[in-house]
């Protein structure tokens, strides 16, 4: 068994507490996805408690899907507390580029906080990094040609892992770029599959521990994406459409074995010549 299976066992063994400040659409599915894979979710938004909760957690997952002033203030406060305590912060800049408010908020949070992982769809990451790309509401509407290079430069500058998802997922730690080819088109037919993935990445970087090296966090992220997308493949094989797919996805996350994850993993290093 390689690394990927060991990360899954570590999540199941430690049951990491993941503090989520997420959006109104996905709150329930994100919590259920975390439970199904073996982690422990908590959703906490009050300014009075977010700092305490973030310090207690093994990871903080921030998602600006239905942002407003209070949510942004809570994300900032929780993020600072997590940074001070060395708790890894995962950020999902949902819909960045759709409106000036989203773009400004995402850029500000990225500048103010030390992120362990930045994860969005390819359109969002392209816009946020100024590499091009487009969004339509919260969906990707086009990826930039040079996205992997832009991601690698940003990751190197900030010392974080950057992930752009889609049919192929790109992951970089600022040195290497990986292309991950698991998943299923039904993931784009249910709301919040990316948000569920972001929450799950909280669990995987959470078990990498406080102050883990960015290369170790990248390994955790690759494992988290692969487990989620392999579960999606197994769920899709038994689903009639989006409704049963979401239910089957919880089942598949719950039953996923390290052996299945490793056997079905499609992870490759993207070499310079193929990064166009
Ligand atoms: N066409 C596809 N084929 C296979 N997997 C896909 C496809 N599209 C998306 N995925 C997978 O779906 C998940 C979500 O990725 P996506 O890029 O759709 O995120 P997102 O736009 O942020 O989602 P959402 O806004 O619904 O939360 C990832 O695990 C990704 O690998
Ligand atoms: C549909 C939608 N709108 C804001 S957040 C969200 C969930 C998917 O990102
Ligand atoms: Mg998204």
24 CA: nearest ligand 2 atom:
5
Q: Are strands 161-165 and 117-121 parallel, antiparallel or unpaired?
A: parallel
Q: What is the DSSP string of 121-150?
A: EHHHHHHHTTS---EETTEE----TTHHHH
Distance 250 CA to ligand 1 centre (A): 16
Q: What is the pLDDT of residues 113-147, one digit of tens each?
A: 999 999 999 999 999 999 998 999 999 998 888 99
Looking at every residue in the chain, the average pLDDT score rounds to 97
Would you say 37 and 203 are in contact if contact means Cβ atoms under 8 Å apart?
A: yes
Residue 95 alpha carbon to ligand 2 centre in Å = 8
Q: Is the pTM of this model over 0.90?
A: yes
Domain spans, the chain: 3-271
Percent of the chain clearing pLDDT 90 (strictly above): 95
Q: Do the annotations mark residue 119 as ligand-binding?
A: yes
Residue of higher predicted confidence among 2 and 40: 40
Q: Which pLDDT score is estimated for 2? A: 60
CATH for the 3-271 domain, from 3.40.50.10190, 1.10.760.10, 3.40.1190.20, 3.20.20.80: 3.40.1190.20
Over 60: is that where the pLDDT of 1 sits?
Answer: no
Q: How far apart are the first and last CA of the chain?
A: 32
49 pLDDT above the threshold of 70: yes
């Amino acid at each position: 068994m390689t690394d990927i299976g060991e990360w899954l066992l570590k999540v199941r063994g430690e049951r990491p507490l993941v503090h989520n400040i997420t959006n109104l659409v996905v709150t329930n599915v994100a919590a259920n996805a975390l439970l199904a894979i073996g982690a422990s979710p908590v959703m906490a938004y009050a300014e009075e408690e977010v700092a305490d909760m973030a310090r207690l957690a093994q990871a903080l997952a921030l998602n600006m899907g239905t942002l407003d002033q209070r949510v942004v203030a809570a994300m900032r406060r929780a993020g600072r507390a997590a940074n001070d305590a060395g708790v890894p912060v995962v950020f999902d800049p949902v819909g960045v580029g759709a409106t000036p408010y989203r773009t400004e908020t995402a850029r500000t949070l990225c500048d103010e906080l030390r992120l362990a992982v930045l994860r969005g769809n390819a359109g969002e990451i392209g816009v946020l990094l100024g590499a091009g790309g487009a969004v339509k509401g919260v969906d990707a509407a086009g990826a930039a040609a040079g996205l992997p290079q832009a991601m690698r430069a940003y990751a190197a500058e900030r010392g974080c892992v950057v992930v752009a998802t889609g049919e192929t997922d790109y992951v970089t730690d600022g040195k290497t770029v990986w292309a991950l080819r698991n998943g299923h088109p039904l993931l784009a037919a249910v709301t919040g599959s990316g948000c569920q993935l972001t929450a799950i990445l909280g669990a995987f970087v959470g078990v990498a521990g406080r102050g883990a090296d960015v290369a170790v966090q990248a390994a955790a992220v690759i494992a988290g994406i692969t487990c989620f997308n392999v579960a999606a493949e197994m769920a899709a094989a038994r689903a009639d459409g989006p409704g049963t797919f979401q239910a089957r996805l919880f089942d598949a996350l719950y039953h996923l074995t390290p052996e299945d994850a490793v056997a079905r993993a499609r992870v490759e290093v993207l070499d310079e010549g193929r990064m166009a």
